[in-house]
Amino acid sequence: MLFVKAAAMGFCIAAPVGAIGMLCIQRSLSRGFCSGFATGIGAACADAVYGLLGALGVAGVVTALPMLTVVLKAAGGAFLVWMAWTIAREAPAAPAAARETARAPVTRDFLTTFALTLSNPLTILSFIAAFAALGPMSVPQGEYAPTGWLVVAPMATGVFAGSAVWWLFLSGVTAALRTKLPAAFTRGISLLSAVAIAAFGVVQMVTGLARLARLV
């Protein structure tokens, strides 16, 4: 039951379409399902890391180091702006190019979103708040109650599973529509995605720099 609740929480945290969602849509349209799904799985793995940290109750490490939080937030915003620029430069793939892209390794797609999702350590606070209702106090108590990793493991794996289900759905639906959309429409979606991702990045950079100014 704890796994199911954590999976539902992971799905709900991943579902709002933010910068990573727009990136998953763009890559699914321009490169196909594998690229889009790898993008989502990178985010799911980062969610699992933060879910694990939240389950272990180490959010205090982040809140005790506000400077680290600010630096990561600003760096993540700059990375988003750079990624938006590269997306805007990409032309829509022709059928032959699409087949060539499909054979390319998707490791980079996974790593970029994994690092990008980890660049916002405030995400852990969302998991801390959610795990307050799913933690050891909400599982059976007594002599045979699960403790330690028997509680933490299903929570972390549940977060990953729920997040992965969302990314599977999003990349699958987007890739299925890919063959039915004209190249001009795909190009328009890519440009819209680039603008949205850049906007997220600028907001994150401004927020991080403003907080840095208050700290110094």
pLDDT at 216 exceeding the cut of 80 = no
pLDDT at 4 exceeding the cut of 70 = yes
For residue 216, give the nearest of 104, 70, 59 by alpha carbon.
Answer: 70
Lowest mean per-residue pLDDT among 29-43, 49-63, 189-203: 49-63
Cβ-in-10-Å burial (0-12, 13-18, 19+) of 148 comes to exposed
* 85 assigned to some structural domain: no
Residue with tokens 């032959």: 96
Ramachandran assignment for 120, one of left (phi > 0), alpha (psi -120 to 50 degrees), beta (any other):
beta
Which of the four pLDDT bands, split at 50, 70 and 90, describes residue 204?
confident
Which tens digit of pLDDT belongs to each residue from 72-96?
Answer: 677 777 877 887 887 777 645 544 4
Which of the four pLDDT bands, split at 50, 70 and 90, describes residue 22?
confident
Which tens digit of pLDDT belongs to each residue from 94-151?
Answer: 444 444 444 457 899 999 899 888 877 666 666 665 565 554 434 444 443 444 566 6
CA distance between the termini of the chain: 46
* 159 assigned to some structural domain: yes
What pLDDT does 97 receive?
43
Give the residue-averaged pLDDT of 47-73.
68
What pLDDT does 63 receive?
55
Highest mean pLDDT of the ranges 28-42, 60-74, 146-160, 178-192: 28-42
When divided into structural domains, the chain yields a total of 1
Highest mean pLDDT of the ranges 16-25, 164-173, 196-205: 164-173
Which of the four pLDDT bands, split at 50, 70 and 90, describes residue 69?
low
What pLDDT does 35 receive?
92
- Give me the chain's average pLDDT, please: 74
* 105 assigned to some structural domain: yes
* 35 assigned to some structural domain: yes
Domain that holds residue 112: 2-10+17-65+91-191
What pLDDT does 168 receive?
95
For residues 170 and 209, the model is more confident at 170
* 53 assigned to some structural domain: yes
* 49 assigned to some structural domain: yes
* 165 assigned to some structural domain: yes
* 162 assigned to some structural domain: yes
Report residue 163 as tokens: 């997040």
Does residue 30 contact residue 151 with C-beta atoms inside 8 Å?
no
Does residue 32 contact residue 186 with C-beta atoms inside 8 Å?
no
